Structure 1
Amino acid sequence: MLFVIMDRRTFVQTTGAVGAVGLTGLAGCLGDEGNGDDDFPSESLTWMIPWGEGGGTDTYARQMAPLMEDPLDQSIEIDNREGAGSMLGSEWLVDQDPDGYTFGTVNPPGWSFTWRAQDVDGWHPDDLEPIAHSGVFGYTIIINDSYDIETYGELRDAYADDEISGFAYQGAGSDSHLVTLLLQNEYDLNADNIVPYDGGGPVQEAVLSDEVPAGIATNTSAISAVESGEARAIVNLMDIDLTDTFPDIDPITEYGDSLAWITEFYQVQVAPPDTPEEEREILMEAVQEATEHEDTQEWEEETGNIVEFGDMDDAADQYVGSVDEIESQVDDTIGGFDEFQQQVEEAEDEEE
């Protein structure tokens, strides 16, 4: 299960002279290897993000890309290809040339869940080649600041007593839809009207405007919601400790089992199938330098975004075989994907 993988994570810590020496040595290694192309990379690279601009995945990439350009000695273009819950961009990446010049970011296990829930044909998540992972993020619950609600228990009671109505999540059939169903079925969240929105940005806007009182947002977007002064992050749906960013946030594990297997996501960089390991190693080293760079460390401290480097093997651990794990979890928690799809269809019928 994912939270077992979490136990062996090692957060990036770069300090003083040790960090400087490590980066100097690393920079000297980049570009020294290849599979016959000793000049790799000899032209600009494309970093595909299967979400829109301004989202959490895009934000991480735009922080790191400029810091990867120096060791690679090439520019990196961010290419946003949003749609179908990241599946449109992922399918595009699968079809690109396996030469190392095009790579992308995916977010397992949510990405693996979406692939399985949409019953995608023609490719499998395991087909993509691992490069590295660079961070971790996940789901919280945010609430409009006008409500005197500070814990999950108080939120649950407010719905039960009809003091509030409506709960937002990020798209019918998405991982956050499943999380919402689990909150209803296993954590007594009796929201009378669960409302799908097209992504985290629209959920945040709906909560800030009080179109709905509360909803699911990533910890990354929750930071901006809190900074607006119009909303608060009140529930941590992950196992990762967020109290440095949200000191009073209430952990969902106080009310039931961990949801980390479906609420914690890795920023995993991947390449098209059959991309040679030599090229991926060069990209991996550039990712490492970017995550350990002092600018990224300052960004992490200032924003609360969680930066973490994992090598090629660590990246593979996050998604290779993850579809089978997701299927097992969905079977155990909601009776399988057929049952989930039936509930999705019922939700869509209610919208109409």
Structure 2
Amino acid sequence: MLAGCLGDENGDGDDGTEPANGDDFPTDSLTWMIPWGEGGGTDTYARQMAPHMEEPLGQSIEIDNREGAGSMLGSEWLVQQDSDGYTFGTVNPPGWSFTWRAQEVDGWHPDDLEPIAHSGIFGYTLIVNDQYDIESFDELRDAYADGEISGFGYQGAGSDSHLTTLILQEEYGLEYDTAVPYDGGGPTMEAVISDEVAAGFATNTSAVAAEESGEASAVVNLMDIDLDDVFPGIDPITDYGDSLAWITEFYQVQVAPPDTPADVRETLSDAVRHACEHEDTQEWSEETGNIVEYGDMDDAADQYVGSVDEIEQQVDDVIGGFDEFQEMVEAED
């Protein structure tokens, strides 16, 4: 399925040059792949941190948004890149692991990617267009049930937010008329702001931008993490049923293509730490409520290596397995 772009078995580059190492890396600009569109939570974190990663690296970083298939298109692209450290990306387990398993992706496995660091924790909220004056999950349910609003947006067919959308309908009584998939938090937020759909998913990160637009507000917190400092009085979903944190909270994990040398990844990890600890990032974290938390290569690996098996068990416990999820999707169609 994938073209071989990882260099030869000796680790040399495709052009015969020597691979990068931690002593002289980097000597050129870098590419940070984000498998979601601009304006979403993952993109927002990256654009906050990239300038401060450039300082210790001494090189520029270009953000490359490669959205599609619930982050799978960008992730597959990353697997195929050279293992020289000049291209890396962010993935968001456990939701990323769920989407890989749900879409039955062939040709690569999440564990194939090499850990660099993790830089934060974020998750899902529900945002609603302000013209409807909805302030709670109860009011949102009633508005759909009464036909007062139409359309509900989620972030990618076959993704973690797709499953959460179905759970909200099946277990929490959210009887939306139509559910519409978008490629990430940014497009979903824009759809709600423009009233293409009345409500939908946003990360807590992108929900800040939704509120700043003056056109939409975060009204439901789907995480267990307290968001009252950022969204005062936001309605927690746990008031209406069991916690959804297993599918609605995830880590910002930086990863590199397979076989990227450990010393090169260590250089990148040190740059992530510098960006996380930078006073501008800490101030941004305090102002927005976005959780910035540095973890080293081992911490990053802990977040996604083996996570497919873990999410399979969670899905089995909650809805009976991935076959049941596919049946739910087919019934929706």
TM-score (norm 1): 0.84
Match of 1:341 among 309, 313, 326: 326
Q: Match of 1:262?
A: 247
Q: Match of 2:34?
A: 49
Q: Does 1:331 align with 2:316?
A: yes
Match of 1:319 among 304, 308, 326: 304
Q: How does 1:1-352 map to 2 (within 5 A)?
A: 38-347=23-332, 349=333
Alpha carbons of structure 1 residues 328 and 124: separation in structure 2 relative to 1, 3 Å = same
Alpha-carbon displacement from aligned partner over 1:301-333 (angstroms, at most 9, x marks no partner): 333332221111211111111111111111222
CA RMSD of aligned residues (A): 2.0
**Separation in structure 2 between the aligned mates of residue 156 and residue 54 of structure 1, nearest angstrom:** 27
Alpha carbons of structure 1 residues 44 and 148: separation in structure 2 relative to 1, 3 Å = closer
**Separation in structure 2 between the aligned mates of residue 280 and residue 36 of structure 1, nearest angstrom:** 9
Contact 1:172 1:344 in 2 (8 A): no
Code of the residue aligned with 2:214 in structure 1: it is: G
Q: Which runs of 5+ in 1 are unaligned?
A: 1-33
For the residue of structure 1 that corresponds to 2:301, the secondary structure is helix
**Separation in structure 1 between the aligned mates of residue 55 and residue 89 of structure 2, nearest angstrom:** 19
Alpha carbons of structure 1 residues 300 and 37: separation in structure 2 relative to 1, 3 Å = closer
Contact 1:35 1:278 in 2 (8 A): no
What is the CA-CA distance between 1:37 and the residue it aligns to? 5.4
For the residue of structure 1 that corresponds to 2:168, the secondary structure is helix
Q: Which runs of 5+ in 2 are unaligned?
A: 1-18
Alpha carbons of structure 1 residues 153 and 69: separation in structure 2 relative to 1, 3 Å = same
Code of the residue aligned with 1:148 in structure 2: it is: D
**Separation in structure 2 between the aligned mates of residue 136 and residue 338 of structure 1, nearest angstrom:** 29
Code of the residue aligned with 1:45 in structure 2: it is: L
Alpha-carbon displacement from aligned partner over 1:157-202 (angstroms, at most 9, x marks no partner): 3333444343222232221110011111111222233333343233
For the residue of structure 2 that corresponds to 1:61, the secondary structure is helix
**Separation in structure 2 between the aligned mates of residue 37 and residue 280 of structure 1, nearest angstrom:** 8
My pick for the range that moved more, 205-214 or 87-96, is 205-214
**Separation in structure 2 between the aligned mates of residue 54 and residue 309 of structure 1, nearest angstrom:** 22
Contact 2:92 2:253 in 1 (8 A): yes
My pick for the range that moved more, 156-165 or 187-196, is 156-165
For the residue of structure 2 that corresponds to 1:283, the secondary structure is helix
Alpha carbons of structure 1 residues 46 and 258: separation in structure 2 relative to 1, 3 Å = same
What is the CA-CA distance between 1:36 and the residue it aligns to? 6.1
For the residue of structure 2 that corresponds to 1:256, the secondary structure is coil
**Separation in structure 2 between the aligned mates of residue 36 and residue 160 of structure 1, nearest angstrom:** 59
My pick for the range that moved more, 242-251 or 140-149, is 140-149
Alpha carbons of structure 1 residues 220 and 53: separation in structure 2 relative to 1, 3 Å = same
What is the CA-CA distance between 1:293 and the residue it aligns to? 0.3
My pick for the range that moved more, 166-175 or 134-143, is 166-175
Alpha carbons of structure 1 residues 279 and 213: separation in structure 2 relative to 1, 3 Å = same
For the residue of structure 2 that corresponds to 1:287, the secondary structure is helix
Contact 1:69 1:76 in 2 (8 A): yes
**Separation in structure 2 between the aligned mates of residue 341 and residue 52 of structure 1, nearest angstrom:** 26
Alpha-carbon displacement from aligned partner over 1:268-308 (angstroms, at most 9, x marks no partner): 00111122222111111110011100111122233333222
For the residue of structure 1 that corresponds to 2:174, the secondary structure is coil
Percent identity of equivalent pairs: 81
For the residue of structure 1 that corresponds to 2:25, the secondary structure is coil
Contact 1:223 1:304 in 2 (8 A): no
TM-score (norm 2): 0.88
**Separation in structure 1 between the aligned mates of residue 252 and residue 26 of structure 2, nearest angstrom:** 23
Alpha carbons of structure 1 residues 197 and 88: separation in structure 2 relative to 1, 3 Å = closer
